[in-house]
Structure 1
């Protein structure tokens, strides 16, 4: 995996938009579930936030990517505020602000806090899924986190993914019942 640059943004956002188009957690947060433009806005927001307070990676073959956030480094900035405002108008919607804030608050209460690598999104282009691209990417993320002596945390709304994550040493430590179940994993 290589560090992504601003020139990779469109490719990464498109890849994640395709990979997460039917994801319950993603569709819960946007105003119009399944609206690709809103999903794309959410993925663009996530890219930008991780670029500011984390790391963004793309595989050398450009078939997979990962957005990592270091919550312990996140701080209020004017650009961050602007990104939040754009997210509301482009993806979440004014009427969904309360729902989105309640969800984020519930997630924060369940996360253990402290220094961590938060794996916000890991995605593989649909035509490249089930060919080891995501596994190789995950191994590199884990090695990087181990080198930094940091745990890796993530959430998934896809129960079938829990087995895949467990192969890399992740354990479920909490569940959150929304209109779907959000599983919290840690390694």
Structure 2
């Protein structure tokens, strides 16, 4: 596992855009229609920026997979984060959809504990490299590296199975317009 630098931004954005292009939850947040993939790229660039500021970004040794983690308790409001949020709202979500997406985020965040956590925002492998163990190795290294409980959510049932086989448990399910959103945590974490 390699700790990413700002020079790795394009690699990380490319991996995550390809890995999450058909993800229900991502497509719920991102305005649909022409330019959808560009908006997914912008979402991943936004996520990269926030995780570089208030978390960590990792690449697999072969640079075919990456993980973005955030430490929510360290997140601060700055001029830079305000500008990033505005760009996200206007260019990715769309002004008419911001309220719906913000309400979704409030419900998700309310389900996380008040204690410090490691929020696994995204972990992805290039589609042509999936099912070869790269993502599993990266997740295993990430879990061994951290001291905080890891929390995440997914809308993909295949992902739920993948995470539960690797020591996570579903502790809550939320309903949204794209279907169920499964909230998971490392099985050693208790809210």
For the aligned pair, the TM-score class normalised by the smaller chain equals over 0.9
Equivalent residue number for residue 184 of structure 2: 185
What is the Cα deviation at residue 127 of structure 1? 0.7
Q: Confirm whether residue 8 of structure 1 aligns to residue 37 of structure 2.
A: no
What is the Cα deviation at residue 31 of structure 1? 1.4
What is the Cα deviation at residue 144 of structure 1? 1.1
Q: Distance in 1 between matches of 2:95 and 2:114?
A: 29
Runs (5+) with no aligned partner, structure 2: 187-191
Matches within 5 A, 1:1-187: 1-32=1-32, 35-145=36-146, 148=147, 150-179=148-177, 180-187=179-186
Runs of 4+ in 1 over 3 A off after TM superposition: none
What is the Cα deviation at residue 48 of structure 1? 0.3
Question: SS of 1:15's equivalent?
Answer: helix
What is the Cα deviation at residue 136 of structure 1? 0.2
What is the Cα deviation at residue 113 of structure 1? 2.6
Q: Distance in 2 between matches of 1:73 and 1:21?
A: 29
TM-score normalized by the length of structure 2: 0.94
Aligned residues: 184
Q: Distance in 2 between matches of 1:168 and 1:60?
A: 20
Render the CA deviation track for 1:135-169: whole Å, top value 9, x for unaligned: 00000011012xx2x10000010011111111221
Runs (5+) with no aligned partner, structure 1: none
Question: SS of 2:13's equivalent?
Answer: helix
Q: Distance in 1 between matches of 2:107 and 2:36?
A: 25
Render the CA deviation track for 1:22-77: whole Å, top value 9, x for unaligned: 10100001111681001001000000000000000111211000000000111111
Q: Distance in 1 between matches of 2:99 and 2:149?
A: 30
